[in-house]
Structure 1
Amino acid sequence: MEEKKNKITGVNGPINGWLDGHTYLIGLMAYPIRHSMSPTMHNNAFAKLGLNFTYLCFEIDNKKLPKAVEAIRTLDMRGSNVSMPNKKEVIKYLDKLSPASEMCDAVNTIVNDNGVLTGYTTDGIGFMKSLEDEGIDIRGKKMCLAGAGGAATPIAVQAALDGVSEIEIFNIHDDKWAQAEKNVKTINEKTNCKASLHDLEDKDDFKRAISECDIYCDATGVGMKPLEDMTLVEDPSWFHKDMTVFDTVYAPRTTKLMKVAQKAGVKHVLNGIGMMIEQGAAAFKLWTGEDMPTDYIRQVIFENDNK
């Protein structure tokens, strides 16, 4: 990162919420995106640490993406987050990819180093770190994963890289099936994890996999608006008490899947808030070199929930 004035200080220390001629701009490019919690998270973290950065949302779809990425260079932005529908499309406009992004064929974070744009994926890191924050270690354990899209792919890859012994991936035969096949092939060839692909329509197989696993993760959009009244697992008997059930959805805070798992007495039932914060923290570190004050950010998000 080019040397600039990157902290604002006053007589009593850091000045929060300050913008000046040295401020770094970071973006979030997706469509739709105005609902995102990322600006609240990052801007509060910048202010807390007295960092001279600001984070803004830009509604960018695939059509606008080429010019938007070029603007990162033109405007000397520090970087950007990328979300749907751009996580794969953006790759063709970048200069380099991290190893995890190459394996996932997806990017959610861009870092600009003097005009050289490197793509990273922090979603999987966020998933694993959010489990660690709850005292859950899934290394050497068996995982059942529903989905093969923008969140599911980095979750599967990072879990495999970090030492999960087996992953059974379930997906319907839609436009993500080919990606699911690629995910399984990549994991089996490049990690020590055993991966397999299964048809989500085979409910008996799905039930078996969940009953045998240590962690079930739903990384589909089921449970999120407008599907908030739906879940892939309706029957609490599919779960066992000593497992972890993880729903990547964070709005609503308690999804229908989580209610089913709670009814079953599952030991650890988690939503996607922790993953969202920790993937943001990983991106924050890439841009600033500083650790995000995640405990403080949790408080900020909790306070916003109660307004």
Structure 2
Amino acid sequence: MSCPKCIEGFLLPGDPAGTIEKDFRGAYHACPRSADANEVATSAEDAQRAIILLTDGFGLPLKNCKIIADNLANRLNCDVWIPDYFDGRPLVPVDDLRTPDRASKTMSVLDWIKFILFTGIPSLPAFIHSRPAVADKRVTSFINDLKEKKHYTKLGVVGYCFGGATAVRFAGTNLVDAAVICHPAGFPIREAQAIKVPTTWACADVDIFWPRSKRLQVEAILSAKKGKEDFREYEFKDYKGTAHGFAARPNLNIPEVKEAYEQAFEQTVEWFKKTLV
């Protein structure tokens, strides 16, 4: 399900530069651009790898994911794709985006009541329509289409909130080669135990869905594999003063949140540079 923190956030500045690809079920496609914004700049080597961005509950209608995808494409010089894994029905309408007044606001009883009545219940059909088992099938089908039609040899996945939990599950498959997980929604510990690719984690200071106790538990699981055949490289970065959603819907007017958003983006770039080679 969701929580009040999952519908808080701000719009990023700028306009998306990519395209919606009908041949890929309405996915957003961001290409690296040269100094001439009308020219695509991708080497043969870079054309063999791509990034899949899994959005938060707002899906493609919230432009932030597209802005982030465009920036990743330019920095990594490769294609970035955002699948419509909510099948045209995002979990939460963009009109419900709320703006927190500080980085780590405590949710009151009244906040929860309002959320349940005005967002939670109305969004329930969308959550059922895109429950994890169903959304995962859409992502799997999308990845298979990409590999068949685009012939990518390396795929990375980055996920935020709902997409972060989805990225955890795909990190336990053979479909991707590396993963970045940003303030994920809750997920069963067994899914962390199944991880088989390098992962980096961008963690909020205050996170209702993924509290520090869970984050430490997951780190302990990955650490326990050191020296074993199934060990995969990992890292965790904690961002003080931030709340769930900071890497996708940051309030850039708060200096520490702006800095955390930028650092989490750099964390993503550097991880894929390191692992998708």
Bigger Cα Rg = 1
Taking structure 1 as the reference length, the TM-score comes to 0.30
Give the TM-score normalised by structure 2: 0.33
Q: Which of 1 and 2 has higher RCO (CA within 8 Å, sep 6+)?
A: 2
